[in-house]
Structure 1
Amino acid sequence: MTSVAILQAESAARRPSPRRFVMCRPDHFDVTYSINPWMNPDEPVDRCLAIEQWETLRATYEEYGHKVDVVPGLPGLPDMVFAANGGLIVGERAMSARFTHPERAAEGPAYHRRFAELGLAGVVGAEELNEGEGDFLLVGDRLLAGMGFRCSLAAHEEVSRHFALPVVSLELVDPRFYHLDTVLLPLDSRTVAYYPPAFSRAARAILADLYPDAILATDADAAVLGLNGVCDGFNVFLSSSATELSEALRARGYNPVGIEMSELLKAGGSVKCCTLEIH
């Protein structure tokens, strides 16, 4: 069977599977400091619009059959809406985040308490700097891990030990894309989409070897955080502004579901940033 025929067969076999997500309503969302290139405290933020966009995302997940657990936001933590950064949950094991910047430090304990309330047995707090699913993405039976801005090899080793999973370290080189989930989107156990210029030459070689059939995103889609999305095996929830990526996904047999995330983008977040998956 040719590679084209294999891709066509895989496309025809795609099926969604129900997922469970943790989200945090942006009741306290704002941009009052700048800890990434997207944030400008001088640019006004429309919190009502941010809540509306977030509610649309949550309702869309539920419409497609997924369960959403909502974590209450806390005053003084405007970035807590980005639940993906709160930790990592695989099976019965969980690790809450330890944030790089002091502005977000209190989010780690807040999500740690929530993980315990969910009844997870193996909950620990990260000792190394580790911003949850911002830095670590589960693809099949391995974790892909970003490094260079918010995470280190020591954190990768800590996560590998706790979850008993292999971790593949990938160096990020563009400061706009300081988290792995801004430039890499897992689609299934063998397929990802990613933006090559965000990675070092060595990381690009690793990704090309592991995922030879990956979808490669354009500059335009990266600029709107189009890869900051969530896939349930068939449906891909992503920024409605990522039009070229949506076309590429549709051509490969996925169903792109566009969500407007313009207000949350002002803090450097989109669909995935707002979504922590309980794997």
Structure 2
Amino acid sequence: MRTARNRHYLMCRPTYFDVVYSINPWMDPAKPVDTALAVTQWEQLRRVYEDLGHTVELIDPVDGLPDMVFAANGATVIDGRALVAKFRDAERVAEAPAYRDWLHTHGFADPRTAEVVNEGEGDYLLVGDLLLAGTGFRSDPRSHAEAQEFFGRPVISLTLVDPDYYHLDTALAVLDDETIAYYPPAFSPGSQAVLRRLFPEAVIATDADARVFGLNATSDGLNVVLPQGATDLAAQLRTRGFAPVGVDLSELLKAGGSVKCCTLELRSGS
């Protein structure tokens, strides 16, 4: 029997969402964006979380920061300690101070800004006691050692090789403290071997699942919130005893983001 555990999330309403630059293969400024639709879809995700019993807090969006909706990139928070992002791209650099200020004023003592490029939970995913850490396109591999020293948890480095899956959370989802789902072609051969060794019972996503960002998902140990187009992945999750909850975030996908990108988990002390 799987059981759900209440989560504490931080989100940012996409009030100023747009695609006005391109820093990943999904972003095309020439394609129109419907900001009102993005807000409506985001509100649906927020309601899903609240209906599942999770706590959702909000950070105020900042005009001129269209990607601030992707709260997962703002920091990594474990055991009540916050390591704030240092973004690679100039277009997103100003998001980090906004997230740092919010964390500082909401009870996270002395949040530290990363010294080298580290894009928060976009590239850092906690599985039990292990911190899976992505690199290859965004977070600097040196940030993995920094995170291990800061959190005092083992960090497993994983190399991404497909630019369509530029953050770890686009190619791998944590389902519970022992189980993940992932898309093998997004990873280097060595990283695939590490994942097979650590998670032999992992759920393997299809190409179709990956293309709709099905792995950009959140889980409370029972309920898995994921893009509704990831139908093969949802079917696999049901056979494993999980309860998939599909949502439509197609407008945010125009910027290369979906469920997990919008969701920063605030983990208190253990």
Normalised by the shorter chain, which TM-score bucket? over 0.9
Matches within 5 A, 1:1-279: 13-279=1-267
Q: Secondary structure at the match of 2:260?
A: coil
Contact 1:23 1:69 in 2 (8 A): yes
Count matched residues: 267
Shift of 1:153: 2.1
> Post-superposition, which runs of at least 4 consecutive aligned residues in structure 1 deviate over 3 A?
none
Per-residue deviation at 1:152? 2.1
> Are 1:144 and 1:170, in contact at CA under 8 Å, matched by a contact in 2?
yes
Secondary structure in 1 matching 2:190? helix
Cα distance in 2 for residues equivalent to 1:253 and 1:57 = 22
Gaps of 5+ in 1: 1-12
CA distance in 1, matches of 2:30, 2:80: 42
Deviation digits for residues 111-139 of structure 1 (CA, Å, limit 9, x no counterpart): 00011011112410111100000010000
Retained in 2: the 8 A contact 1:92–1:122? Answer: no
Partner Cα distance (2:241, 2:80) in 1: 32
TM-score calculated relative to the size of structure 1: 0.95
Output the CA distance in 2 between the equivalents of 1:117 and 1:15.
Answer: 32
- CA distance in structure 2 between the partners assigned to 1:23 and 1:153 by the alignment: 27
C-alpha RMSD over aligned residues: 0.6
Instruction: Give the Cα–Cα distance (whole angstroms) in 2 for the partners of residues 178 and 253 of structure 1.
Output: 29
Residues 141-193 of structure 1, C-alpha deviation per residue, up to 9 Å, x if partnerless?
01000011101221000011111111000000000001000000001111100
- Whole-angstrom distance in 2 between the partners of 1:166 and 1:152: 17
Q: Distance in 2 between matches of 1:221 and 1:86?
A: 26
Q: Using the alignment, how far apart are the partners of 1:122 and 1:220 within structure 2? A: 42
Q: C-alpha separation between the residues in 2 aligned to 1:92 and 1:21? A: 13
Instruction: Output the amino acid matched with 2:44.
Output: T
8 Å CA contact 2:135–2:157 kept in 1: the answer is: yes
SS at match of 2:261: coil
